[in-house]
Chains A and B, each alone.
Chain A
Amino acid sequence: MRAVIAEDSVLLRIGVVKVLEMAGFEVAAQVEDGEALLAAVAEHRPDIAVVDVRMPPDFTDEGVRAATVIRRRWPDTAVLLLSQYVEERYATDLLAANTSKIGYLLKQRVADVEEFADSVRRVAAGGTALDPQVVSQLLLRRHSGPLDRLTRREHEVLELMASGRSNAGIAAGLVISDSAVAKHINNIFAKLDLPKADADHRRVLAVLRFLDVV
């Protein structure tokens, strides 16, 4: 698996490269802005591009704009966005067309090396990785309604499910058994009246659709 990385902070870039290599990726290119990222993706056609949202020259949303172009022009390349803070609109814009091969994580998650490596692999393999903070901000937007009927535990499971985790991932995150996770997920789908979905990213889609995101 090959990756390119676009990140203007040298220290963080070195860290991300190390984690990617540890996760078994070959880092084909390291660039510092959106233009160079598009050129690198065109040249290397990587499996995944890890992209900082804020980059030169304007330090606003260069990364998001580059990601939109990548998803349109090179749909085989997955995109994992890294950001200093969560702006749900970036997530919703990117997820609108397609919830597979996309990730949106806070920069500080890179420090949880193994989990970050899992997220990168998952996104590169066609999955989704949304930061828990993204999901909780999306849930915040959804006023009243069926969400209030969920128990606290079901809320937690919903957040992790929406962030793209598999059942095993959710079980590990909450330190409960796989069967308990399956039970909670069934309850959530029943309470929110969602259609059954087995593949992880289709499940994300279902939840996000419920949250009015897509």
Chain B
Amino acid sequence: MSWGFTVVPMPFALHPPESLRRPFREAGRSTAFVAAGLPPHLVAVALWVWLVGLAVVVPGFAPLPAALLIVSAGVLTAVQRWRYRTLRGPGALQVPPRTGRPALRHPIQWLRSPGAWRQIAYHGLVGPLLAPVEAAVLVLWAAGFAAASIYVWIWALPPEQRLTQVGYTTQAAYITAGGLALTAVMPWLTGRVARLEAGVANVLLGQTRAERLQRRVEDLTESRAGVVDAADAERRRIERDLHDGAQQRLVALAVNLGIARATLTDLSAEARRVIDDAHTEAKQAVAELNDLVRGLHPAVLDDRGLDAALSGVAARAPIPVRLSVDLATRPPATAEAVAYFTVSEALTNVVKHARASKAEVTVERRGGTLVVVIADDGVGGAGPSGGTGLAGLAKRAASVDGTFTCHSPLGGPTVITVELPCAP
């Protein structure tokens, strides 16, 4: 006898729509997840049985299974994390950042960590409680399928083994209905169990709130440093582009106009005036572009450091500025940039608002801190709300974990202090 199969195209049956497939897939995944939890949880059950049995027979040996549990906690945790990662997705269990293999290399240190005892509690106490629940889920699934397909079993079993009671076909109908109902409820039940397990595991196997916050702080610190560095790099790039392009071109233009002005002496007064104006304009454009570049990230800061860059700023100020920069080595580039802009902006403020006759700038390193002080003898009353850019300076300092203080009573004087961390 041969079976002839004809493959009939059945698009609906073979490729049911996503909305129909999803519940089945999810139920399958939850069941696999719950099933995979059973073996590692049963390990603890076995250890408990051993422990209780030993305690009855030889009380002195009781610590052995407990020690085994503690020793195997690391491995069991790894198994559980693998289970969550592969069967529930990468984000299902928030795992603390890996730091080598502390459980194996430094067992004492590992035991002292709060995570270790939470893990041991999970495997020793929660595991044995979860194992029967997981077993029940699997049994219910099996029962549901078996009951729903009772007629198949009746048909498949040899006649002599069949139930012989009268009315078994009626009972079988009830059993089928019950099985179908159970199978219909099982995805929901399995989902609940999976969620319950995930909740417990996240508390005991996942990272604590402190660990999570610590990790978040580390991530944010790193990403913020990246953003600050990127912004600095971008300013430098713009400075270089302007220097290589527009600045050179403008100087060349001003030179040409200057030469025209100096050599074309036989032109009409009108034409000479136009050339003269154009020359003045071009020089002004050069000066303005220089100011703009200085406001971005001056080349002198990268090339020669804070002292040279700040002496340029101080020398350009229209009031006398005393500058003292005392740095044995150069601070990190970001700290230099913040210090430079703080002094530059603060001096601009002094000139614009403070009605000061002189100012003093000191930059020094105290331990791991770069301290920048800008003082003037002006009228005071400067505050972050005055639209003087002080708020921006405070933010800039905060962006590198620095502090910004402005002491400016009405009547003056004003003292601005910025402290920037710079590891020596």
Contacts and interface: CB of A to CB of B under 8 A. Distances in A.
B323 A22 contact: no
Given A86-B308, A108-B283, A111-B255, 13 more contacts: A9-B248, A12-B252, A22-B262, A54-B299, A85-B312, A86-B315, A87-B303, A87-B308, A108-B251, A108-B254, A136-B315, A140-B311, A143-B322
Interface stretch (A13-21, A35-43, A68-76, A183-191): A13-21
A172 to B, nearest CB: 15
Per DSSP, chain B at the interface is helix
B283 A112 contact: yes
B22 interface: no
A86 B251 contact: no
B300 interface: yes
Contacts of A11: 248-249, 251-252
A126 to B, nearest CB: 24
A117 B314 CA distance: 29
A91 to B, nearest CB: 11
B290 interface: yes
B421 interface: no
Contacts of A117: 262
A85 B262 contact: no
B287 interface: yes
Interface string B243-279: 1100011011011101101110000000000000001
Interface string A131-149: 0010011011101000000
B105 interface: no
Given A11-B251, A113-B258, A108 B287 contact: yes
Per DSSP, chain A at the interface is helix
A143 B362 CA distance: 13
Interface string B300-330: 1001100010011011100001111000000
B312 A15 contact: no
Interface in B325-365: none
Interface string A84-117: 1111110000000000000000011011111001
Contact of A111 (B243, B283, B324): B283
17 contacts: A9-B248, A15-B251, A15-B256, A16-B255, A19-B255, A84-B299, A85-B300, A85-B312, A86-B315, A88-B308, A88-B311, A108-B251, A108-B283, A108-B287, A108-B290, A111-B286, A140-B314
B248 A111 contact: no
A111 B279 CA distance: 8
A207 to B, nearest CB: 16
A133 B308 contact: no
A137 B255 contact: no
Contacts of A112: 258, 283
Name the residue among B252, B282, B299 with the largest chain A CB count within 10 angstroms: B252
A211 to B, nearest CB: 13
A170 to B, nearest CB: 19
A137 B311 contact: yes
B184 to A, nearest CB: 76
A176 B263 CA distance: 27
Contact of B263 (A22, A86, A107, A137): A22
B251 A107 contact: yes
